[in-house]
Amino acid sequence: MKEHLYQFSKTALIVIDLQKWIGNQYAPHSAEQVVERASAMVETFREAGAFVGLVRVSSKDFKDMPRPILDQEPPAIKLAPGWDEIVPEIGVTANDHLITKRQWGAFYGTDLDQQLRRRGITTIVLCGIASGIGVDTTAREAFAHGYQVIFAIDAMTGFSEAEHEHVSKVIFPRIGRIRTTDEILACAALQS
């Protein structure tokens, strides 16, 4: 018997940072694999009329981004025009909710919590890049806000396999449920 993970009426799919700036240096899954699996979930959630939140990081001048004093500078990223657009494989439809963030997590400084609560959503399915940064921070924020969290573990990836393995083995099991894309899609099939 297949597991009933969620109800579409109470669940949101939140896709983290699948935008045109993503590169190729990820593990254990490639960016292409993550985009393909996330796209399958987005299509299924859209067809069901469920909440699809597409999260992107964006800024006009980067003056609204955190600037902490660090022991190690982050790697330099070259940003081409359109870097903050959602990848074409997913796109943005009129019914999607585009969430623009200026830090790692999708809750702080955005209206994501308000949009979810006003729709009676209690569960979020998370996927995207990177497992140990945007996905992890958003998951911790969701947990702190009282949401049930489901991790689409093969529809996310880290900047290194060690990063992904750490959060998927140590952090995620303490704040939610870990499932594959196929398991999440199988639950959708039970509802149709």
pLDDT tens string 157-186 = 999 999 999 999 999 999 999 999 999 999
pLDDT at 26 over 50: yes
Classify residue 76 as exposed, middle or buried by CB count within 10 Å of its CB (0-12, 13-18, 19+): exposed
Task: State the chain's mean pLDDT as an integer.
Answer: 92
Q: Which residues contact 1 (CB under 8 A, 6 or more apart)?
A: none
pTM of the predicted structure, to 2 decimals:
0.93
Q: Which segment, 63-72, 75-84, 109-118, is predicted with the most confidence on average? A: 109-118
Predicted pLDDT at 147: 98
Give me the amino acid identity at 188: A
Q: Quick one: pLDDT band at residue 24, thresholds 50, 70, 90?
A: confident
Predicted pLDDT at 1: 44
Predicted pLDDT at 190: 84
- In 24-147, DSSP assigns E strands to 51-57, 97-101, 123-129
Reported as a single tens digit per residue, the pLDDT across 115-160 is 999 999 999 999 999 999 999 999 999 999 999 999 999 999 999 9
Of 41-45, 66-70, 153-157, least confident by mean pLDDT is 66-70
Predicted pLDDT at 90: 97
Reported as a single tens digit per residue, the pLDDT across 84-119 is 899 999 999 999 999 999 999 999 999 999 999 999
Of 47-61, 64-78, 145-159, least confident by mean pLDDT is 64-78
Predicted pLDDT at 3: 67
CB 16 within 8 A of CB 129: yes
CB 126 within 8 A of CB 5: no
Q: Quick one: pLDDT band at residue 2, thresholds 50, 70, 90?
A: low
Predicted pLDDT at 73: 80
